[in-house]
Amino acid sequence: MMSRMAKAMKAFVDHPATRFLVGCVLMVTGLIDLYGDLMDETRRFRIGAHHGIVILGIVQALSALPDFTLAIEKWLPVLERRKRDGN
């Protein structure tokens, strides 16, 4: 049985917003590193960790998007009902 702390940490890590934010951070840091390498070494192309980090960041951010769209699809009818009812 998981403790309350473990459940809270799992809920935080599995939350779509957390996954999206982590993916964006990975993409940005990977792209910054990639840009720095391109400026330093324009003649040689070496595959480094930053390439994998950029790909991981893209996949991580994209994996959160279906959860966001599902939440929006569920929330829109609620907003329309509130608008219609005058709340």
Task: Give tens-digit pLDDT for 25-64.
Answer: 888 888 887 777 766 665 566 666 667 788 888 888 888 8
Distance between CA atoms of residues 70 and 80, nearest Å: 16
For helices 16-40 and 4-14, angle between their N-to-C axes, nearest 10 degrees: 60
DSSP one-letter string for 15-56: SHHHHHHHHHHHHHHHHHHHHHHHHH-SS-----HHHHHHHH
Residue 86 main-chain phi, psi, to 5 deg: 85, 20
Confirm whether pTM is higher than 0.75.
no
Enumerate residues 6+ apart whose C-beta is below 8 A from 27: 53, 54, 57, 58, 61
